[in-house]
Chain A
Amino acid sequence: MALKLTESEFEIERDPTKCISCRICIKQCANGVHEYNIDKDTIISDSKKCIGCHRCESMCPTGALKISERKAQFKTNANWSANHIRNIYKQADTGGVVLTGMGSDKSYPVYWDHILFNASQVTNPSIDPLREPMEIKTFIGRKDLKIEFEDDGEVGNIKLKTEVFPQLELSTPIIFSAMSYGSISYNACKCLAAAASEFGTYFNTGEGGLHKDLYQYADNAIVQVASGRFGVDVDYLNMGAAIEIKIGQGAKPGIGGHLPGGKVTGDISNTRMIPQGTDAISPAPHHDIYSIEDLAQLIHAIKEATEWQKPVGVKVAAVHNIAPVASGIARAGADFITIDGFRGGTGAAPLVIRDNVGIPIELAIASVDERLRDEGIRQDVSILAAGSIRSSADVIKAIALGADAVCIGTAALIALGCHLCQKCYTGKCNWGIATQDPYLTGRLNPETGTRRLLNLLRAWSLELKEMLGGAGINAIESLRGNREHLRGINLNDRELLILGIKHAGET
C-alpha cells in the first residue's frame, strides 16, 4: 500500500512582485526545493522537500521569500499531534527508527525560566563592574581542602608549598561543548578552537579526534575519549589541556555515538584513525567499564599516560540517579564531571530517546551539588553543566545552583548561523555547520565565525559581570552554589526542595 507522506511541513511563499529570478535560492537550498522552469521562465518550489532552515529566505536579495510552518496539515487534535501522525507514516513506510538533530523541542518545563536572580538594594551595595574589578575567572579541577605557603620572611617572597592538582584556567565560566569533527564541519571546528584559544577558554574535540591543522589550538582543547576510542593515542592524550571520558550525552542517554560510514571520508577518517567508509561505532557502554572501579581504572590509566599533568573528567547524561552516579565519578578520581541535561543538542539521535529520556540540567545540578556537599567531596571535583544553556542568565543561575562552569554547544552553533532546523543528521546543513559537503561548508567563513563566537563570549561575560555586580558580588567564586541568590516562581514545594531554593516573595 502506498501511503507516502504527501503533506509538506512548510509553506513557501514567493512574492512575484519582488522575485527577480536571480536563482540565488536555487543555489542556496541543498534540499533541491527550488527549481528554474524554462518554459514558464519562473522559479517553482516544491515545499514537500523543505525542512525549514530559512537559508533561502535569509539569502534572497529582494526579500521575496517567506518560509512558514504549514498550520493545517491534519485536522486539529490536542492528543494526536501532527508530529505523532507524521512519524507513524514514516515508520510504517520504512520500519525504521526516527532520527532527529539538536535538543528536544518538547514543552517540558524549563526551570531556568522559573528561577529569578537577586540584586542588592540599600543594605548591601551593588558594584559597578565598569568601575570596579569583577572576577569571573574560573578554575576547573580538583581543589585542595587546605593549601600551605612557604614564607621566608622576605617581602613578596611567598611560595606555594602545596602541590596543587592540575587545573584548567577559564577566563569566563563558559566552555564550548563537545562537538566532533564529522558531526560538524572543519570550519565550524576551527571557529570553536580559534575562539576558545583567543578568549582564554576551551573547546572540546568530541569523540572524533583532533584534526592536525587544529593542533595549534591544542592548549585550549579538551580531548575526548569515547568507547570507540576514535583518534585516541598517547600523543592525543598529551596534546590536550584536559581529557574527558565520554560515558553519555544528554540528548541520548544510554545510546552510543555512531557516525555512518558514508561520512567517514578523507580527513575525517584520518582524524578518527579509521579506514574510509566504515561505520564509526561508539556503543553506549564502554565494554571495559561496568562499574565505578572500572571507570577509576580508565581515569588512572589516562592519568598515568599523561603523567598526572592534566585534569581528567567524565561526561555523563543527566539521568534519574545522577547524584549517586556523580558521587561515584568523584570517588573514581575524576577532576571534573560534565553533566549534560536532557535538552542538550546532538548531531543525530533517535527522536524517541531525545524527547523522553533523562532529566533537566537545572534539577541535576542542584541534586548533584547537594549530594557532593553532603558527602564532603564537593571540592574533589568540578561540575560542568550542559544541556541547553541559552543565555548569560542561564549561566549565572547554573553557577548559583552549584555548577563551576557551563558548556555551550547549541548556543555556539546558533552564533555561527544555525537556525535550529534539527536536520543535522542529514549532512545537508545549509548553514555549513553540520555538513561535510565542501560546497556547503564554504558558507561558514572561519574568520567571521570566530569573531561571532568571540562576540558571544564577550557579551555573555559582560552580562555576567553586570548581574554579579548588581547582586553585590565581585567574584564568581562567591556565587557558586550560593542558592540564597535564587528564588523560584511558579514552582511547587517539591521542585523548590530539589532545587534548594525559596519561592519568590520569601526572604
Chain B
Amino acid sequence: MKELIDSKGLGYRELNGHIRKILGLSSSDSGNRYAGMEILLKNVCGQRYIGCGLKGDHKISIEGVPGNDLAAFMDGPIIEVFENGQDGIGNTMNSGKVIIHGDTGDIVGYSMRGGEIYIEGSAGFRCGIHMKAYKKKTPVIIIGGSAGDYLGEYMAGGIIILLSLRRKGVDKVFGTGTNRAGYHIGSGMHGGTIYIRGKVEEYKLGRDVIIDEPKGSDIDILYEYIGNYCNFFSADASSIKVEDFIKLIPFSHRPYKKLYTY
C-alpha cells in the first residue's frame, strides 16, 4: 500500500504524527500496527527529525529537502531522498537504510550502530564519527563524491567507503591519484575500516590510523557496496576499480592505554 502526505506547511511534529498514524504507531492507536508500508512525502522543506526513532520495515520516499536529524535513532525503515540532505542524518541509527540522491551536510551517521547510508554526492564534515559495530550489526556509509574533515573521527566500528567520484555519475571519475577526503581522517579511530578510492597523503591522516591494502574480504565488501551504490544511483560500476582503493585501520583498539601513571 502506498500513502502520500503533502508536507507543505506542516511542522515536523505534525508531519511525524501523520507518518506514525499511517503506520499505526501513534500512542493513541490500539495496537493496529501495519507492516511494509510505503509513504511518499511530497513538498518536504526542511522539516527535521523525519523518521526519527521509527521502527519496522517501511519505506519512506521524500521529495524536497528534509531537515536535520533525518532517520535519527531509526531502527529498520528505508528512507530515500530525491534531493540533498542536511545535517545529522542517521544520528545513532540502529538499522535500516538511507539513500540520498544528492549531497549531505555534516555529521552523517553519528554513532550509528547498524544500517546503511548511501550518499550519491558529497558529505560534509565529521561524517561517520563514533560509528560502532556490535555483534551482527555493522554500519556502513558510502559517499560518492568527497567528504569533509574528520571523516570517521573516533570511529569504533563499521565501514566507510569514499568513492571520490565527481558528483552524479561515474563518467567523470577523478584520476586515481586524487582522493577527495578532507583533513584529520580517522583521528581518534579505534575500530572499523575506512576505504578510500585514490591515494591519501599522510598529512591528511589522523595519528591513530595506518594505511593498508584491501584484500580478501575487503574486496567482497567493496564489490557489494559499490554494486549497491551503482544500483541506487544508476552509475557505471565498471569504472570504479577496487585496486584503486586504500584501506585505513586504527592501530589500536585501546588508544588511551598508556596515558596514566600507576
Contact mask for chain B residues 94-112; partner A; CB cutoff 8 A; 1 contact, 0 none: 1000000000001100110
Contact mask for chain B residues 167-208; partner A; CB cutoff 8 A; 1 contact, 0 none: 000000000000000000000101100000000000000000
Q: Is the CB–CB distance between A301 and B126 below 8 Å? A: no
Q: Is the CB–CB distance between A301 and B91 below 8 Å? A: yes
Query: With an 8 A cutoff between CB atoms, is A459 at the interface?
Result: no
- Residues of chain A within 8 A of B55, CB atoms compared: 234
Query: With an 8 A cutoff between CB atoms, is B154 at the interface?
Result: yes
**Contact stretch, chosen from A87-95, A182-190, A314-322, A402-410:** A87-95
Interface centre among A90, A99, A274, A301 (most CB of B within 10 A): A301
Selected contact of A278 from candidates B27, B72, B91, B190, CB within 8 Å: B190
Cβ of A25 to closest chain B Cβ, rounded Å: 23
**Contact stretch, chosen from B38-46, B239-247, B253-261:** B253-261
Known: A297-B69, A301-B91. A287 touches B254 (CB 8 A): no
- Residues of chain B within 8 A of A99, CB atoms compared: 260-261
Query: With an 8 A cutoff between CB atoms, is A273 at the interface?
Result: yes
Q: Is the CB–CB distance between A260 and B254 below 8 Å? A: yes
Known: A281-B256, A301-B91. A233 touches B48 (CB 8 A): no
**Complex alpha-carbon distance, A244 and B258, angstroms:** 31
Q: Is the CB–CB distance between B261 and A94 below 8 Å? A: yes
Known: A96-B261, A233-B73, A300-B49. A274 touches B157 (CB 8 A): yes
Query: With an 8 A cutoff between CB atoms, is B122 at the interface?
Result: no
Known: A93-B261, A274-B132, A278-B191. A304 touches B253 (CB 8 A): no
- Residues of chain A within 8 A of B94, CB atoms compared: 233-234
Contact mask for chain B residues 216-260; partner A; CB cutoff 8 A; 1 contact, 0 none: 000000000000000000000000000000000000011111111
> Size range of the interface on B?
35 or more
Cβ of A35 to closest chain B Cβ, rounded Å: 20
Question: Chain B residue with minimal CB distance to A306?
Answer: B53
**Contact stretch, chosen from A13-21, A76-84, A119-127, A224-232:** A224-232
Cβ of B210 to closest chain A Cβ, rounded Å: 17
Q: Is the CB–CB distance between A260 and B256 below 8 Å? A: yes
Query: With an 8 A cutoff between CB atoms, is B153 at the interface?
Result: yes
Q: Is the CB–CB distance between B16 and A304 below 8 Å? A: yes
Query: With an 8 A cutoff between CB atoms, is A305 at the interface?
Result: yes
Task: Please report which residues of chain B, range 54-105, place their CB below 8 angstroms from some CB of chain A when the two chains form the complex.
Answer: 55, 68-69, 72-75, 87-88, 91-92, 94
- Residues of chain A within 8 A of B254, CB atoms compared: 260-262, 277-279
Q: Is the CB–CB distance between A287 and B16 below 8 Å? A: no
Query: With an 8 A cutoff between CB atoms, is B13 at the interface?
Result: yes
**Complex alpha-carbon distance, A88 and B45, angstroms:** 59
Query: With an 8 A cutoff between CB atoms, is B37 at the interface?
Result: no
**Complex alpha-carbon distance, A275 and B257, angstroms:** 17
Query: With an 8 A cutoff between CB atoms, is B34 at the interface?
Result: no
Question: Chain A residue with minimal CB distance to B95?
Answer: A233
Cβ of B184 to closest chain A Cβ, rounded Å: 12
Question: Chain B residue with minimal CB distance to A96?
Answer: B261
Cβ of A109 to closest chain B Cβ, rounded Å: 29
Cβ of B205 to closest chain A Cβ, rounded Å: 18
**Complex alpha-carbon distance, A93 and B153, angstroms:** 32
**Complex alpha-carbon distance, A90 and B260, angstroms:** 10
Q: Is the CB–CB distance between A234 and B156 below 8 Å? A: no
> Size range of the interface on A?
35 or more
**Complex alpha-carbon distance, A288 and B27, angstroms:** 29
- Residues of chain B within 8 A of A306, CB atoms compared: 53
Selected contact of B256 from candidates A98, A279, A288, CB within 8 Å: A279
Q: Is the CB–CB distance between B259 and A97 below 8 Å? A: yes
Q: Is the CB–CB distance between A98 and B260 below 8 Å? A: yes
Q: Is the CB–CB distance between A283 and B154 below 8 Å? A: yes
Question: Chain A residue with minimal CB distance to B132?
Answer: A274
Selected contact of B262 from candidates A94, A234, A277, A307, CB within 8 Å: A94
Interface centre among A94, A233, A237, A260 (most CB of B within 10 A): A233
Query: With an 8 A cutoff between CB atoms, is A309 at the interface?
Result: yes
- Residues of chain A within 8 A of B262, CB atoms compared: 90, 93-94
Q: Is the CB–CB distance between A275 and B260 below 8 Å? A: no
Contact mask for chain B residues 13-25; partner A; CB cutoff 8 A; 1 contact, 0 none: 1001000100000
Query: With an 8 A cutoff between CB atoms, is A258 at the interface?
Result: yes
**Complex alpha-carbon distance, A434 and B236, angstroms:** 56
- Residues of chain B within 8 A of A237, CB atoms compared: 53, 73
Known: A287-B126, A301-B69, A301-B72. A281 touches B261 (CB 8 A): no
Contact mask for chain A residues 253-286; partner B; CB cutoff 8 A; 1 contact, 0 none: 0000010111000000000011101110101000
- Residues of chain A within 8 A of B106, CB atoms compared: 288
Task: Please report which residues of chain A, range 57-105, place their CB below 8 angstroms from some CB of chain B when the two chains form the complex.
Answer: 87, 90-91, 93-94, 96-99
Cβ of B165 to closest chain A Cβ, rounded Å: 26
Cβ of B47 to closest chain A Cβ, rounded Å: 11
- Residues of chain B within 8 A of A281, CB atoms compared: 154, 156, 188, 190, 255-256
Question: Chain B residue with minimal CB distance to A262?
Answer: B254
Contact mask for chain A residues 190-227; partner B; CB cutoff 8 A; 1 contact, 0 none: 00000000000000000000000000000000000001
**Complex alpha-carbon distance, A258 and B260, angstroms:** 12
Task: Please report which residues of chain B, range 107-154, place their CB below 8 angstroms from some CB of chain A when the two chains form the complex.
Answer: 107, 110-111, 113, 126, 129-130, 132-134, 150, 153-154
- Residues of chain B within 8 A of A308, CB atoms compared: 13
Q: Is the CB–CB distance between A227 and B130 below 8 Å? A: yes
Q: Is the CB–CB distance between A278 and B253 below 8 Å? A: yes
Cβ of A228 to closest chain B Cβ, rounded Å: 6
Query: With an 8 A cutoff between CB atoms, is B10 at the interface?
Result: no
Cβ of B110 to closest chain A Cβ, rounded Å: 5
Question: Chain B residue with minimal CB distance to A94?
Answer: B261
Query: With an 8 A cutoff between CB atoms, is B211 at the interface?
Result: no
**Complex alpha-carbon distance, A297 and B129, angstroms:** 18
Selected contact of B52 from candidates A97, A260, A277, A304, CB within 8 Å: A304
Q: In the A-B complex, list the 6 residue pairs whose CB atoms are closest, starting with the nearest.
A: A305-B53, A229-B111, A96-B261, A234-B53, A304-B49, A90-B261
User: B residues engaging A (CB < 8 A)?
Assistant: 12-13, 16, 20, 26-27, 48-49, 52-53, 55, 68-69, 72-75, 87-88, 91-92, 94, 106-107, 110-111, 113, 126, 129-130, 132-134, 150, 153-154, 156-157, 188, 190-191, 253-262
User: A residues engaging B (CB < 8 A)?
Assistant: 87, 90-91, 93-94, 96-99, 227-229, 232-235, 237-238, 258, 260-262, 273-275, 277-279, 281, 283, 287-288, 297, 300-302, 304-309
User: Given contacts A301-B72, A304-B13, could you give 6 more A-B pairs where the C-beta distance is less than 8 Å?
Assistant: A279-B256, A287-B126, A287-B150, A297-B69, A301-B48, A301-B91
Sampled A-B contacts (25; CB under 8 Å): A93-B261, A94-B260, A96-B261, A99-B261, A228-B154, A229-B130, A233-B75, A234-B53, A258-B256, A260-B257, A261-B254, A273-B113, A274-B157, A275-B134, A275-B191, A278-B156, A279-B253, A279-B257, A281-B188, A300-B48, A301-B48, A301-B52, A301-B73, A302-B73, A304-B52
